[in-house]
Structure 1
Amino acid sequence: MQSRKIRVGMVGGGQGAFIGNVHRIAMRISDQFDLCAACFSSDPARADASAREQGIAAQRSYHDYAQMAQLEAARDDGIEAVIVVTPNHLHFPIACAFLELGMHVICDKPLSLDSAQAEHLIALSQRYGKQLWVTYNYTAYPMVREARARILRGDLGKIRSIQVEYSQDWLATALERDGQKQASWRTDPKRAGAAGCLGDIGVHAFNLLQYMTGLVPDRIAANLHSFVEGRVLDDHAQIWMRFAQGARANLLCSQIAVGKENYLRIQVFGEGGALDWCQESPNHLMFSQLNGDTQRCSRARHHSDPAVQASCLIPAGHPEGYLEAFALLYRDIAAALRHENVASNAHAALRDMQFIEACLTSQKADNAWVDFPV
């Protein structure tokens, strides 16, 4: 029987913010959370207007995240977890403030600006016995989890090659010069961090690779480039990986790929089989066997892994997409916060920060191969 809903607050994600609304929709679908406090914006008028839209009481609409953490910690009915949906440079200080006052943290990616900050947050979560999650929502698609189950049980044999691509075209022109808010902070190293496209969507591709295959590279080489004149951070990157088990991987991420709206695809090739999943057809997984047929596997059908099939929100034939996958991740987070047997993804998020740093090191060394901490 489901216990009461988990009380949560949100920092960032006010009026006009894309990802904040996605989180709220996902929470509603999961039916596990009650959003009862927020610091939606540092602008008081915008913060309060956003709170009214979400039905949050005026006294729990905050204009400063540190004050929010202090006052919510002092309430008998205070929030149990905070959701951080701000630009990257604010993730670390906000997460610290809430962890240190005894609240769980659910953070948009990336977890921090560098691996040292990520390690510090993990240490804080362990010290205070609190959960630390990063919302890598693509890992919650049922057919991604189906692919993972098949790989881990050996359906493909030994993995030989992995190809993953995440391409968009929305930054093919200098939107940041026109004052477009999302483009402005994502191309600003002070707010986005040292990586642009790599840190924005490349980490999603790398995280998906880790999750689906269970493999972590031991060597990385990277080529990062900015095609738009005057842009400081990369808008296109190619990464090559070697694995101790013998596999090789290619990762392409781009935000200047004209015609690619939000194209995320991963292909895994083993000695005896292969898998191919694309977010543009998220309810299907292509499974090929050596010298055999290629099967189009559908979500929630009888061939699915039992745990994956049980996680589906609606029957086969009804499409589940981006929002439902986000909701499934929130369902996992709720289970973890209730001390059920679900592990946090914080250590994978740390590896994602180490991945960015390794790529930047390789780029500075003329695309040389560099060691990756396993």
Structure 2
Amino acid sequence: MNAQSKVRYGMVGGGEGAFIGAVHRMAAALDGEYELVCGAFSSDAERNQRSADALGLDPGRAYATLGALLAGEAALPEDQRMEALAIVTPNHLHAPMAIAALDAGFHVMSEKPMALNLAEAQAIDAAIARSGKLYGLAFTYSGYPLIEEARVRVARGDFGAIRLVQVEYTQGWLSRPIDQGGNKQAEWRTDPARAGLGGCLGDIGTHAFQLAEHVSGLAVESLSAELTTHVPGRRLDDDVAALLRFEGEARGVLKASQVAAGDENGLRLRIHGEEGGLDWSQMEPNTLTLRWLDRPTEVIRAGGPGLDPSAMARLRIPAGHPEGYIEAFANLYRSFGRVLRAGAATPPPRGAADWFPGILDGLRTMAFVEALIANNAGAAKWTSLADIPPKRRTTDHR
């Protein structure tokens, strides 16, 4: 894309004092292919206007509500109006806002989890099908170059048949009851009305699950799990553990916790096949370690020799210059924007230079959330994820 074809986007949520809205804006801005033109940043009128002013927006395009934003933008000439909406609100608003935007004729990039439950996710799926608009999800970690390299090496059979998938995502920031002491980021994430069915499960467990399926190329067929709430008075889980049964006889373990005191953002993925395995950590994202039965360990570096072209396409600077979270996030925005500009109605397949997480990832993660909660609450040893077919969509709009 060139300067004359920047994607014009709006944002709902993400105003003054919010965390993830600023991250979305930085990611969208990194490649110079987006322009923020409007927003409804806060339900508080003064905070909303301050946010718009700080971002240099036209005062007339700082809207009080999403409904006003959609109506106001639709009334503008086609070459001026918003083309895509970034949804960066608490979880309970993701589905109704996505459906409203899609039905109004706008593309959507949404924060995860995509909805409060599987039924809402399927309603978004239906809205995508009837609108023909693009839908993307901010599963940021799948945008890392060495995650793509890992996926490629698994897919081409470097390790033989996959046997083990181990993924963990541990944080410590909720080890104390800060959600009961006025911390806004913690408070809504532990409120069932706004966070949804799971606390830690929905917030970071979905990231771990999506990454495990994305890199392994295997769908989880069933799980056995335990949800725990360690902090007294907390209304949602803050710790998750699950055994996973993948298609093809592979087995897995998923651990997610927000009460691992001292841990920062400990996302780690290990996958083992018959002949060897890989190890990647988000806190050292430019290194991929490969270990083998019969030869020395290999350390693969971002930008170094031997990377697959699809991994190289996700790099911006020479080897030895660290790239991280914002760049990975920007890869998703860049891909979403280029597919949008190409006029495509669906994301390209995994492995394509402009792939980004979309509705399939969303449906799979919501099926995971519901299956895990059902297993934890029930007497069954294993619970199936059969509600969502792993290799196809629930509609014909892929």
Q: Which interval holds the TM-score relative to the shorter structure?
A: over 0.9
Does the residue aligned with 1:329 lie in a helix, a strand or coil? helix
2:359 is aligned with 1:346? yes
Q: Select the residue among 174, 188, 208 that pairs with 2:177.
A: 174
2:250 is equivalent to residue 253 of structure 1:
no
Q: Is the 8 A contact 1:30 1:330 kept in 2?
A: no
Taking a change above 3 Å as real, the CA distance of residues 256 and 29 of structure 1, as seen in their structure-2 partners, is same
Read off the aligned partner of 1:224 and give its amino acid letter.
L
Q: 1:362 aligns with which of 349, 352, 375?
A: 375
Matches within 5 A, 1:1-374: 2=2, 4-76=5-77, 77-339=80-342, 341=348, 342=354, 345-366=358-379, 368-373=381-386, 374=389
Cα distance in 1 for residues equivalent to 2:247 and 2:208: 20
SS in 2 for 1:118: helix
The one-letter amino acid of 1:273's match is: G
Alignment-mate amino acid for residue 305 of structure 1: D
Rounded to whole Å, the distance in 2 between the matches of 1:85 and 1:217 is 28
Q: Is the 8 A contact 1:263 1:279 kept in 2?
A: yes
CA shift, 1:366, in A, is: 4.2
CA contact (8 A) 2:144 2:314 kept: no
CA distance in structure 1 between the aligned counterparts of 2:162 and 2:380, rounded to whole angstroms = 25
Give the residue type in structure 2 aligned to 1:26: A
CA distance in 1, matches of 2:299, 2:380: 38
Aligned residues: 374
The 3-state SS of whatever aligns with 1:245 is helix
Question: Sequence identity, in percent?
Answer: 44
Once the two structures are superposed, residues 119-144 of structure 1 have per-residue CA deviations (whole angstroms, 9 ceiling, x without a partner) of: 11111112111001111010000000
Query: What is the DSSP-based 3-state SS (H/G/I as helix, E as strand, rest coil) of the residue aligned with 1:164?
Result: strand
Describe the superposition over 1:92-134 as per-residue Cα deviations: whole angstroms up to 9, x where unpaired: 1111111111000100001011111111111111211100111
Partner SS state of residue 227, structure 2: strand
2:314·2:331 contact (CA, 8 Å) conserved in 1?
A: yes
Task: Measure how far apart 1:232 and its partner are.
Answer: 1.4
Greater displacement, 211-220 / 246-255: 211-220
Paired AA for residue 248 in structure 2: Q
Paired amino acid for 1:350: L
Does the residue aligned with 2:313 lie in a helix, a strand or coil? Answer: helix
Task: Provide the rounded CA distance (Å) in 2 between the counterparts of 1:16 and 1:327.
Answer: 22
Distance 1:7 1:135 in 2: 18
Alpha-carbon RMSD: 1.2
Per-residue deviation, 1:30: 2.4
Q: Write out per-residue CA displacement over residues 57-79 of structure 1, whole angstroms, 9 at most, x where no aligned residue.
A: 00000111111111111211110
Supply the distance in 2 between the matched residues of 1:244 and 1:190 (Cα, whole angstroms): 34
- Normalised TM-score (structure 2): 0.92
Write the distance in 1 (CA, Å) between the matches of 2:379 and 2:145: 39
* Superposition deviation, residue 367 in structure 1: 6.5
Match of 1:75, SS state, is: coil
8 A contact 1:122–1:132 mirrored in 2: no
Contact 1:301 1:309 in 2 (8 A): no
Name the amino acid aligned to 1:167: T
Contact 2:169 2:265 in 1 (8 A): yes
Deviation (angstroms), 1:310: 2.7
- Taking the aligned partners of 1:360 and 1:310, their CA distance within structure 2 comes to 38
Which secondary structure state, in structure 2, belongs to the residue aligned with residue 218 of structure 1? strand
Once residues 244 and 267 of structure 1 are traced to their aligned partners in structure 2, the CA distance between those partners, rounded to angstroms, is 17
**Which 5+ residue runs of structure 2 have no aligned equivalent?**
349-353, 390-398
Q: Is the 8 A contact 1:158 1:270 kept in 2?
A: yes
